[in-house]
Chain A
C-alpha cells in the first residue's frame, strides 16, 4: 500500500519568506510526527499529533514554527520568516502501533 508521502521534495526559499510543508500519512495511522534532520546531525523531534490534537509540541524550535493536522490525516508544518538555520530535511512519520514509525522521504529545505 501507499507509504507516507511529503511535498514538496525540495524547497528553496529566501530568508524571511514563509514556507509550508505537507505530510500525507499512511491511511488509518492515528499518530503523526514531525522531525528535523540538519546536515550531519541526528533526527530532532518537533511535534506529535494524536488525531488532530498535538499533545506534545515541545520540540518546535521557536514561535515561527507551527503545525496543524486536519481530518486525522494530512498535516502541514509552517515556518514563518525563515532563517538560514532552518535549512534542514524535514521528515514526517506516522504510526498505528506504539512502536514502529514509518517515515516519509522528507522535504529538503534550503533558506538562502
Chain B
C-alpha cells in the first residue's frame, strides 16, 4: 500500500465549478499535512498547510480527519488558472521528510 494515496483524475470541470480532491495516508503518526500544486513541467509549490480544525485560503478549503487518516481539498469557483496537478503531502514526523502522493490532475475549461 502506498503511504499517500490520491485519485489520479483527471478532473475536467467548467469554470466556476466546485471540485473536491481526497487523499488518504497510512502512517497514523504523521504530524503535518500539506497540499502542493505542480504545473506541467514545473516544480511543486506549496498551496496550503492543512490543520486539524480545517482552514481556508480564499477559494481553497482544506480539511483533515486524523481518525480516518483522510485529507481533502475543496476548490470553489474554479478558474482556468487552477488547472494543474494537486499533490497531497504528508510529513511523517521527525525532521522534515515529505511523502508525496502521485497527484490529482485538474483541468478547468471555459
Indicate if A55 sits at the interface (CB-CB under 8 A): yes
Q: Are A56 and B95 in contact (CB under 8 A)?
A: yes
Instruction: Report the minimum CB–CB distance from B58 to chain A (whole Å).
Output: 18
Q: Mark B67-110, 1 if CB is under 8 A from A, else 0.
A: 00000000000000000000100010001111111110000000
Chain A: residues with Cβ within 8 Å of the partner, total of: 23
Residue of B with least CB distance to A3: B43
Indicate if B26 sits at the interface (CB-CB under 8 A): no
A43 neighbours in B (Cβ, 8 Å): 44, 87, 98, 100
Chain B: residues with Cβ within 8 Å of the partner, total of: 20
User: Which secondary structure dominates chain A's binding surface?
Assistant: strand
Asked whether A99 and B101 contact (CB < 8 A) given A104-B43, A106-B43, the answer is: no
User: Which secondary structure dominates chain B's binding surface?
Assistant: strand
Residue of B with least CB distance to A47: B97
Cα distance A103–B44 in the bound complex, in angstroms: 7
Instruction: Report the minimum CB–CB distance from B87 to chain A (whole Å).
Output: 7
Cα distance A43–B87 in the bound complex, in angstroms: 9
Q: Are B97 and A33 in contact (CB under 8 A)?
A: yes
Indicate if B1 sits at the interface (CB-CB under 8 A): no
Cα distance A104–B45 in the bound complex, in angstroms: 10
Pick from A42, A44, A48, A106: contact of B95, CB under 8 Å: A48
A27 neighbours in B (Cβ, 8 Å): none
Indicate if A79 sits at the interface (CB-CB under 8 A): no
Indicate if B4 sits at the interface (CB-CB under 8 A): yes
Instruction: Report the minimum CB–CB distance from B38 to chain A (whole Å).
Output: 9
Q: Are B102 and A42 in contact (CB under 8 A)?
A: yes
Q: What is the interface of chain A, defined by CB distance below 8 A to chain B?
A: 31, 33, 35, 40-45, 48, 50, 55-56, 91, 95, 98-101, 103-106
A-B contacts, 12 listed (Cβ < 8 Å): A33-B97, A33-B98, A41-B102, A42-B4, A43-B98, A50-B95, A55-B95, A56-B95, A91-B44, A99-B49, A101-B96, A103-B45
